[in-house]
Amino acid sequence: MAKGIVLASGSIHRKELLKNAGIDFTVEPCELDERAVEAPLLESGVSPEDVASILAEAKATDVSERHPGEIVIGADQTLSLDDEIFYKPANMEEARRTLLKLSGRTHTLNSAVVLVEDGVVTWRHVATAAITLRQLDPGFIGRYLAAAGQKATTSVGAYQIEKEGIQLMEKIEGDYFTIIGLPLLPLLKELRQRGEIDG
């Protein structure tokens, strides 16, 4: 008999991806202070990929404590440019500064997903995507942010490729799901192999 599946994320995008894939699941966002978990990692020089993986694990482990016998999906995404890790902009001014920094350069999105059962990680995967933004005129950035509105502060790069953000792009290497923040194909494969979803 298939186990219950719980998504330990409040992300509308991750929820939508699983729902659209036909997965039966419940949602319980974790209550962790992600920045507090992350601070010692950054000081010790952990890679952006590992930061995403460790945060995904922390989220899923936290929620797993309240869901014995169920499979908890944890996910996290970091954006890195050279050695700098970016976060969701707190406001529109931060979004503008993020886009100015990313303009004309190639950044990496690191999307991690883990499965945790009864507090134990049973599977993990990190996928990366490389995105090159066009050389952006500051005036255009202002107009883009005005059109995008507060949605620009809901993603780490201040863009959504499925919306106006696609106009910022020059080149994309990597799959759509990794960019949205959930490596869906490897996750579905793992759930099929376990017999948790029809395969």
Distance CA 39, CA 46 (A): 10
Q: How many CB atoms lie within 10 A of CB 162?
A: 12
Q: Examine residue 107 and state whether it is found in any structural domain, yes or no.
A: yes
For residue 199, being part of any structural domain is answered with no
How much is the pLDDT for 33? 78
User: Do the Cβ atoms of 117 and 57 come closer than 8 Å?
Assistant: no
Weakly modelled stretches of the chain, pLDDT under 70: 1
Model pTM score: 0.91
Instruction: Check residue 1 and give its pLDDT.
Output: 66
Q: Is 137 contained in some domain?
A: yes
Of residues 33, 50, 76, 118, which has the active-site annotation? 76
> Quick one: which of 41, 31, 14 has its CA closest to 65?
31
The set of long-range contacts for 7-13, using a CB threshold of 8 Å and a minimum separation of 24, is 7/72, 7/73, 7/75, 8/59, 8/60, 8/62, 8/63, 8/64, 8/72, 8/73, 8/74, 8/75, 9/59, 9/73, 9/74, 9/75, 11/75, 11/181, 11/182, 13/180, 13/181, 13/182
pLDDT reported for residue 128: 97
pLDDT for 31 equals 82
Q: What is the pLDDT of residues 91-133, one digit of tens each?
A: 999 999 999 999 999 999 999 999 999 999 999 999 999 999 9
Sort strands 120-133 and 106-117 into parallel, antiparallel or unpaired: antiparallel
- As a whole number of angstroms, the distance between CA 175 and CA 183 comes to 8
Question: Per the domain annotation, does 50 fall within a domain?
Answer: yes
Instruction: Decide if 76 is catalytic.
Output: yes
Show the DSSP H helices in 8-47 as ranges. 12-20, 34-43
Q: Is residue 25 part of a domain?
A: yes
Give domain status of residue 35, yes or no: yes
CATH number, domain of 141, equals 3.90.950.10
Position 187 in a domain: yes
User: Count of CB atoms within 10 A of residue 132's CB?
Assistant: 15
Amino acid identity, position 72: V
Residue type, 100: L
* Residue numbers of the domain that contains 110: 5-193
Tell me how many domains the chain contains.
1
User: What is the C-alpha separation between 36 and 167, in angstroms, rounded?
Assistant: 34
Has residue 198 been placed in a domain?
Answer: no
pLDDT of residue 39: 75
